[in-house]
Structure 1
Amino acid sequence: MPATLPTASQTKSLHLLRSLLREASCLPDAAARDYFRRYIVARFKAYQPKPNATASFDVQAVEKYRHRSFKRRHIAIINGRAAQQQRKALKGLNFLRRANQGEGACIQKVLWLTYGRLGRRKYALLDELLKPDPAWPQGPAPLQLLYRSNLRCLQYFEAPNARNAAHGSHTIYISKQYPRLRAVITAQCQKEASLHRAMKRPYITTPMLNTWEQPMPIRRAVNNVRRWYAETMTRLLPALPTAEWDSIEAMSKGKQPIGFAKRRAPAVRLSPQPASDSGTLEQMLQRSLAMDKLSKADRPQGLDRPRALTARYMQRLYSRLLTLSCKLEYDDARKQWNAIWGEPRKNTRPDSYTTPVDDALFAGVDAKGAMPKAPKRKDKTAPLVQPRNEDGEYMRFPFFAEMLPETHPVRIELDKWKKERANARAKWVAPGGDAS
């Protein structure tokens, strides 16, 4: 039976898949190339008809990145969502193109998706934090017993603490049965690390009474805990594996080379063909009149314009990523987990030049290399005597007072004041001294 030819929609999907895989293979991070390749293949396989399915790829890799949830869709859903998913794939293609061109915001988001600060891998890392301590005794959570509810989020908390009872509120902490989750939340609140808004506190503060000064209803108490849990899990930055965190730190400090992709040489046609006619006149006219909007990858502009992907530029991005990541280490002495967060990159100044030189070269300068200023001389000028009237108020003369005749009353008052000022100045200056 001859194979059926692919439809126009299937052909477009194949072109998008190849273009996405091509752009994913050029990302400037080795882990990002592997992550996006598996993500793209898994997403396209979810919308592949079952008769066209092939053997599944590496099962261990699927479990590592939690792509198992991409369940294959029904044929009716595939046909109904084909155009929508193609537009979504085209948007992702332009995003990867902008990242490969060096746009900072796109590369940063690629790193966040790869290392679990956003997206699907974040929830895969959260699953590791939500695992209880095996040594902890099995039993129902105290908050589930108190609130008489089997809600899953209630199992991660201890019983309410009444140490704030004087203020009319209870405090609920993360249960010690989940030490890793408790350590990460506490350390993140102390570091104030967050992508957007930081977490306020590592515990819940819930009121004991409602508006009518009655005991808080159980339903509302449960909703308060559920709301805080949902908000915290949204802002929580889960811990990375130790080897992965150490690799990011080494790349941010230049101790490990950046995993840039090797650029392939452009293809060269061995037997170039002469350009044929571009179609009929009607087709040429339609292509000329088409006003397709270009993507940002085709019209780069603004502050996020493309730039060269250098090792120094990637080190700054890894340093920013490191401040949003942590690793967990177990302290045998204190029997507890410690979350170690990355420190921000500081602008280090070069060491001062201490080679011996001739003293005459820097004569007349201080330790900072600046010329010392001469001390200011005290002003020996006599203070001006301000004219006052009989009431003790300052006298003011118009600017034309000196032009008036000597018999004018204003001119007489001005001459009198000048004589008083000259006498006061003569008394202030020491004999043989200089007033200037």
Structure 2
Amino acid sequence: MSLSPVQTPHWRHVYRALLRESSYLPDPIARQYMSSHVRESYRGYQPRVIPNSYRGPNGQFYLERRARKLLSILSRANDGYLKPLERVLMLSYGRIGRRRHVLARPFFVSNSAADKLPFRFILPPTCPPSWEPIPSLAALLKSQMENRQLSSIDATPAIHEIPQPKKSIWDGYVSKRKVQKATEKWYDIVIKSFLPPIPDQEWNTLHGLAVGKEPWSLPKRRKRLDANDTRSALDAEFLVFGPQKDHTFEAYARGRPHKITRKLITPMWDRILLATPRMTQDPETKSWIVRWGKPAKKPPIFPALDPELAINSSLFAGVDSTTGALLTPKTTPRRKTMVPAS
């Protein structure tokens, strides 16, 4: 009696595929973050099974679906689809997703240690009583509200001050419940719109990639095995259903793949750089200074024309150099009217 071979769990195939696709990403920060994110995601739900939770049988279905969704995003990003590629970069640099909450945790939770960071509910889901932002958070929110360049990444507008609830028409009294509700609403808006700074080393890498000073190259991918189709053209499927359709454009209905080059990915780095701040504290006034990233200035498409050459150029002949009026206005000859013979 022969024993059946041990089958590899299906989740292990997804795990290996996620790590493989993470190593092929075109951004160095994205490769490092996505690899660690995949490992932490699998280890975060590894302990004992708890009924009616993500670690239970019912929750495993949603975890597997989330893993396959991430695998689809990573594979399409490596194939050159623009929207998945930009989403992976936004996730890696903490502009959206879990890492944005991880970077924002020191602004909301004081004395938060990195080793005791929870996997879920990184930020307090409920507003603490009489909550007020710390000075660094208030300075960053004010600077973010004044930054007009965040419209390019569809960021949620930030609100610097708490919206005041409406006063009553009798004596202008505002109940404590209304004030607490307004504070909770403001707290939720701040959490959704807050763009925290990233470490200086990552910011320098991002700036170097956007400007062109940082060396960049695509990682080498393993060659896929050739699928040798040895089936006969006159098999049973062909005889019953006839010839099958060739490649169609159905796969490109929501975008098409591109060859990833530096020219293709630089605009994405520019948009992320515009939404990534740097914070420094003035040692004298103890105030916080916020600076937002700016991409490199591109040269103009048309070169500037020398004014002295423009005067002597035949292109501007007959035009006054100061007023721009025509020196010799053109005269159009009048059309002769023909009188019919009587």
How far apart are the structure 2 equivalents of 1:352 and 1:6? Answer: 70
SS in 2 for 1:125: helix
The yes-or-no answer on 1:364 pairing with 2:314 is: yes
The yes-or-no answer on 1:319 pairing with 2:270 is: yes
Deviation at 1:229, TM superposition (A): 1.4
Q: Which amino acid aligns with 1:124?
A: V
Corresponding residue of 1:38: 36
How far apart are the structure 2 equivalents of 1:276 and 1:349? Answer: 57
Identity of aligned residues (%): 24
How far apart are the structure 1 equivalents of 2:64 and 2:165? Answer: 50
Corresponding residue of 2:145: 189
* Pairs within 5 Å for 1:33-182: 33-48=31-46, 73-74=49-50, 77-130=55-108, 152-157=127-132, 174=133, 178-182=134-138
How far apart are the structure 2 equivalents of 1:107 and 1:250? Answer: 19
Tell me, yes or no, if the aligned pair for 1:29 and 1:261 is still in contact at 8 Å: no
How far apart are the structure 1 equivalents of 2:176 and 2:40? Answer: 43
Corresponding residue of 2:251: 299
Corresponding residue of 1:342: 293
SS in 1 for 2:278: strand
Structure with bigger gyration radius: 1
Tell me, yes or no, if the aligned pair for 1:153 and 1:229 is still in contact at 8 Å: no
Cα separation, partners in 2 of 1:4 and 1:82, compared to 1, 3 Å: farther
SS in 2 for 1:206: coil
Q: What is the count of residue pairs matched by the alignment?
A: 302
How far apart are the structure 2 equivalents of 1:375 and 1:213? Answer: 76
Deviation at 1:211, TM superposition (A): 5.0
Cα separation, partners in 2 of 1:120 and 1:231, compared to 1, 3 Å: same
Q: Deviations over 1:233-264 (max 9, x none)?
A: 21111111222212211110001123632223
Tell me, yes or no, if the aligned pair for 1:189 and 1:198 is still in contact at 8 Å: no
Q: Deviations over 1:64-101 (max 9, x none)?
A: xxxxxxx6643785433444433332222221111001
How far apart are the structure 2 equivalents of 1:100 and 1:373? Answer: 59
Deviation at 1:125, TM superposition (A): 0.8
SS in 1 for 2:205: helix
* Pairs within 5 Å for 1:422-433: none
Deviation at 1:335, TM superposition (A): 2.4
Deviation at 1:347, TM superposition (A): 4.0
Q: Which amino acid aligns with 2:97?
A: G
Corresponding residue of 2:189: 231
Structure 2: segments with no counterpart, 5+ residues: 112-125, 320-324
How far apart are the structure 2 equivalents of 1:248 and 1:90? Answer: 28
The yes-or-no answer on 1:329 pairing with 2:327 is: no
Cα separation, partners in 2 of 1:209 and 1:99, compared to 1, 3 Å: same
SS in 2 for 1:365: helix
Deviation at 1:340, TM superposition (A): 0.9
Corresponding residue of 2:119: none
Q: Deviations over 1:281-327 (max 9, x none)?
A: 99x79xx99xxxx9x9x92345x311111112222111110011101
Root-mean-square deviation (Å): 4.3
Deviation at 1:6, TM superposition (A): 5.4
How far apart are the structure 2 equivalents of 1:102 and 1:305? Answer: 8
Cα separation, partners in 2 of 1:75 and 1:207, compared to 1, 3 Å: closer
Q: Which amino acid aligns with 2:183?
A: V
How far apart are the structure 2 equivalents of 1:213 and 1:121? Answer: 46
How far apart are the structure 2 equivalents of 1:155 and 1:239? Answer: 26
Tell me, yes or no, if the aligned pair for 2:30 and 2:92 is still in contact at 8 Å: yes
Tell me, yes or no, if the aligned pair for 1:329 and 1:337 is still in contact at 8 Å: yes
SS in 1 for 2:314: coil
Match of 2:25 among 27, 32, 36: 27
SS in 2 for 1:328: strand
Q: Which amino acid aligns with 1:300?
A: Y
Tell me, yes or no, if the aligned pair for 1:199 and 1:232 is still in contact at 8 Å: no
Tell me, yes or no, if the aligned pair for 1:47 and 1:78 is still in contact at 8 Å: no
Cα separation, partners in 2 of 1:353 and 1:208, compared to 1, 3 Å: closer
Q: TM-score normalised to the size of structure 2?
A: 0.72
Structure 1: segments with no counterpart, 5+ residues: 49-70, 134-150, 158-173, 382-401, 406-436
